[in-house]
Amino acid sequence: PAIAQDATATIHVNKGTNKIYKEIYGQFAEHLGSCIYGGLWVGTNSQIPNTQGYRTDVLKALKDLKVPVLRWPGGCFADEYHWTDGIGPREQRPKMQNNNWGGTIEDNSFGTHEFLNLCELLGTEPYISGNVGSGTVEELAKWVEYMTSDGDTPMANLRRKNGREKSWNVKFLGVGNESWGCGGSMRPEYYADLYRRYSTYCRNYDGHNLYKIASGASDYDYNWTKVLMNQIGNHMNGISLHYYTVKDWSDHKGSALKFDDQDYYTTIGKCLQIEDVIKKHETIMDQKDPNKKIGLLVDEWGTWWDEEPGTIRGHLYQQNSMRDAMVAALSLNVFQRHTDRIRMANIAQVVNVLQSMILTDTKGTGHMVLTPTYHVFRMYKGFQEATYLPMDVKCDSMDVKGGKMHKMVDGKIPAISISAAKKTDGGIIISLANTNLEKNQTVEINLDGAAAKNITGEILTSKNIQDYNDFEHPEVVKPVAFKSIKAKKNTITAKIPSKSIVVLNIN
């Protein structure tokens, strides 16, 4: 790539209109590998310190992250999950085989109560993914009743018998997952009808108001969105979209840690291509819904690499480097820009699976490590519910080749990615990512009249883009205070080192 030049940005601090939904920083927990068992949940009899069965260390790390929403139980798992197997006394619950993910036998000790109570402990909104692929209308309708009815109804009474008096606060309900694939291999026309049928019987009980989400497209499948917009329309509150930064869908997705500069730039190019994909889905949605009432929920996104050598096949356990952190920052900046349509996004997944926040040692040593991606989410907390600020940016760009990346076209990567918002407390938050591997970037930020004072900053960077954290070296990549700032009147000049992510807060 060509050497980049320095950049300028003018942030229009008084022209923000759209709120950045906190749910854009959402997480996803599937029954997959050791995301649930060994990740979030170890059970009350475990040697590993736990709080009512949840790993205490993971619980604390997630509380610090201020997780706004957590999607569960899948993914592909959701369309084979029968919720009644996961309630009642744990020792009496039937076992099941996780057919999607390595054929692992699970004991159903983590079910509806364990999930929804976890959300309460974390102060997180639950997002339930319902079974349409192999479950019945009755089954899904009763699950909704079980979770949200406060009346003298059969399911509410069953819940009470199982120890929970009051309904849980459940708003987000997915009606199937990847119904074009693992969720039933359906055609969009057929799924649209099934959606209408299943969702009809998901009732709003006792003051609850469900936000119903149709199972949306895989990345470039624009026809799926078109058919659902035409045939489901206002029967849905939102439609999902899945987009992975993946090389291809074969067994050769590339190593999470062993990659060269060219691989890095191609990955960044593929990651940024999500913006074009989002725009195309938005254009289709705009035709039927110009007032943007229907939300677009990117409820699965992130990097997908080869499983780490020596780990269980089908468990999707991968390491996480500074490259993944860069993908996280750039993707969040894109979602923020499209906040008029994007209602939620859920990175896949929260613990031990794909681009996770946390890795745990499930062999019983009790170790836990925070990934570089975790640190990005923590640094971005101030964006939750802030008002997106439009801006004009000038920066250099680097040429990138699509190479062998799935559907990736040759293009350009901006050397600097910037996003800014006015926080709920009136302060301004700015994120800056320098995507160049070699060159530092001096960025001049004009605040369009607002005073450049009381600025604090944090930076996440590393010596090598391949750097990562593991149980022996948990703090190789971690944020530190950022001091390379000069402020004068309405202008901030910040020197952003190569391959780094900076978040500034102006109070």
Nearer to ligand AHR, 354 or 418 (CB): 354
Task: Tell me whether residue 385 is one of the annotated catalytic residues.
Answer: no
Using CB under 6 A as the binding rule, whether residue 307 contacts ligand AHR is answered as no
Tokens read off for 25: 């920083």
From 69-77, 103-111, 137-145, 323-331, give the range in contact with ligand AHR by CB under 6 A: 69-77
Catalytic-role residue among 178, 282, 308, 472: 178
Nearer to ligand AHR, 354 or 443 (CB): 354
Using CB under 6 A as the binding rule, whether residue 177 contacts ligand AHR is answered as yes
CA distance 214 to 199: 9
Using CB under 6 A as the binding rule, whether residue 348 contacts ligand AHR is answered as yes
Rg (CA), the chain: 22
Q: How far is the CB of 323 from ligand AHR (least distance, A)?
A: 19
Q: How far is the CB of 353 from ligand AHR (least distance, A)?
A: 7
Q: 6, 23, 30, 145: which one contacts ligand AHR (CB under 6 A)?
A: 30
Task: Tell me whether residue 300 is one of the annotated catalytic residues.
Answer: yes
Task: Measure the CA angle with vertex 275, ends 384 and 172; round to 5°.
Answer: 45
Q: 322: part of which helix (H) or strand (E)?
A: helix 322-337
Nearer to ligand AHR, 145 or 178 (CB): 178
In a 3-state reduction of DSSP, which class is residue 278?
helix
SS3 annotation, 244-264? EEECCCCCCCCCCCCCCHHHH
From 68-76, 290-298, 362-370, 439-447, give the range in contact with ligand AHR by CB under 6 A: 68-76
Using CB under 6 A as the binding rule, whether residue 350 contacts ligand AHR is answered as no
In a 3-state reduction of DSSP, which class is residue 279?
helix
Using CB under 6 A as the binding rule, whether residue 130 contacts ligand AHR is answered as no
Using CB under 6 A as the binding rule, whether residue 213 contacts ligand AHR is answered as no
Using CB under 6 A as the binding rule, whether residue 500 contacts ligand AHR is answered as no
Using CB under 6 A as the binding rule, whether residue 178 contacts ligand AHR is answered as yes
**Residues 469-488: x/- map of binding to ligand AHR (CB under 6 A)?**
--------------------
From 72-80, 153-161, 208-216, 279-287, give the range in contact with ligand AHR by CB under 6 A: 72-80
Using CB under 6 A as the binding rule, whether residue 73 contacts ligand AHR is answered as no
Could you say which DSSP state residue 316 is in?
Answer: -
Residue nearest to ligand AHR (CB): 75
Torsion of CA 343, 344, 345, 351, to 10 degrees: 170
Name the percent of the chain in helix, strand, coil, to the closest 5.
Answer: 25, 25, 45
Nearer to ligand AHR, 178 or 282 (CB): 178
Site for ligand AHR in 244-283 (CB under 6 A): none
In a 3-state reduction of DSSP, which class is residue 303?
strand
Catalytic-role residue among 300, 308, 458, 472: 300
**Of 169, 2, 166, nearest to 70 (Cα)?**
169
SS3 annotation, 58-111? HHHHHHHHCCCEEEECCCHHHHHCCHHHHCCCHHHCCCEEECCCCCEEECCCCC
Q: How far is the CB of 217 from ligand AHR (least distance, A)?
A: 12
Tell me the sheet residues that pair with 212. Answer: 173
CA distance 280 to 226: 11
What is the contact surface with ligand AHR in residues (CB under 6 A)?
30, 74-76, 177-178, 300, 348-349, 354
Q: Which residues carry out catalysis?
A: 178, 300
